[in-house]
Amino acid sequence: MDQLQKDWLTQGLIDFEYKKYVLLAYLKTVKTSFGRVELYPFLGDLVSHYRNLLAVKANQALIRDSFPKEISLEDSTKLELSYKKIVEDDKIMREIESIVEFAIPQIKGSLQEGSELYELVESQCEIAPVGVTPLYAREGYMFVTQPPETETNVYRYQMSIFEQSHEQLRSLNTEFIERIPTTFSNTYENIKLELVKRYRELPNPATYLILSKMKFPFTETLMPVAKRLFVKHISKAA
């Protein structure tokens, strides 16, 4: 199973053995992906599913609200509409509670495996400025490369800061420009100079190199980790 729907807990047949089968099939796919050192999209999905399960366990009202309802005419005289549950609370609630109790440690185990893999990838990444870094570093270029360092992936980045619930959040937008060969003569500094010549709107751009000491799947692993690591790096410098 390649994907676990957000409402998998209450979608379709609500039966412990069936939901157990669905969940384990999904986690088997996740494990295979992690075995290939492919973190995304599964690591992000696991975080979301785990948080949802904890919220459901803490608040049973969330379960009741997730069920569909049908409108029935309860009082023909007063023409009052009321909502009638399609399911019987007691039996279904007990079944869901069993599913939740089983699912939480299962997903937590997979999430732990993914987190350890993430930390490994992050530990292999280094960030260094290319040339002189200007005071304004929220916009510029990001170079991402890994062994054997024969080419670098060039991105233009822009980081935005916004307030939410009295907290500063940061988002990073990246635009792929091109993949450029790196040689003894075509260094990272030379690549930056060529970008300055080509894109005049950034005459003195902040430019950073993110170098991984190990080779990883680029799209599924290295790039997502590099972006998160880059946001933390820029946030500290800002």
Complete DSSP assignment for 64-112: HHHS-EEEEEEETTTTEEEEEESS-HHHHHHHHHHHHHHHHHHHHHHHH
Residues 103-118 pLDDT 10s: 999 999 999 999 999 9
Q: If you average pLDDT over every residue of the chain, what do you get?
A: 86
The Cα–Cα gap between 159 and 162 comes to 10
Residue with tokens 């619930």: 165
Q: For the whole model, what pTM was predicted? A: 0.82
Spatial distance between the Cα atoms of 189 and 181, rounded to a whole number of angstroms:
13
Question: What ranges in the chain are assigned the alpha helix state H?
Answer: 16-35, 42-58, 60-66, 89-123, 188-198, 223-237
DSSP symbol at 182: -
b/e string for 7-28 if b means 16 or more Cβ within 10 A?
Answer: ebbbeeebeeeebeebbeebbe
Q: What is the mean pLDDT of residues 12-24?
A: 93
pLDDT at 205 over 80: yes
| 218 DSSP assignment | I
pLDDT at 51 over 50: yes
pLDDT of residue 76 exceeding 50, the answer is: no
Question: Identity (one letter) of the amino acid at 79?
Answer: L
pLDDT above 60 for 86: no
> How confident is the model over 194-201, as a mean pLDDT?
93
CA geometry: angle at 30 spanning 26 and 34, to 5°? 170
Indicate whether 35 pLDDT > 90.
yes
